[in-house]
Amino acid sequence: MQAYTVEQVAETLQIGRDKVYFLLRTGQLHSIKIGKLRRITDRHLAEFIASLESADEKS
């Protein structure tokens, strides 16, 4: 299992760092904390993308 920084996720999704923090704050994207560090696992990322795909199918 991989764990990514907010910056790495922002780069992967090609969105801004602030947008990743917004997604975390609103519960749309989940993460884990290791001490003071926030990490997003590949599972969290996959679940987030799947939720976007299912929301798109409903539209």
Q: How far is CA 23 from the centre of its chain?
A: 7
Q: Is the pTM of this model over 0.85?
A: yes
Position 6 scores a pLDDT of 97
> Can you tell me the distance from the alpha carbon of 5 to that of 14, in angstroms, rounded to the nearest whole number?
14
Instruction: State whether the Cα torsion 47-34-12-2 is positive or negative.
Output: negative
Query: pLDDT averaged over consecutive 10-residue blocks of the chain (59 residues)?
Result: 96 97 97 96 96 83
Question: Where are the domains positioned within the chain?
Answer: 3-58
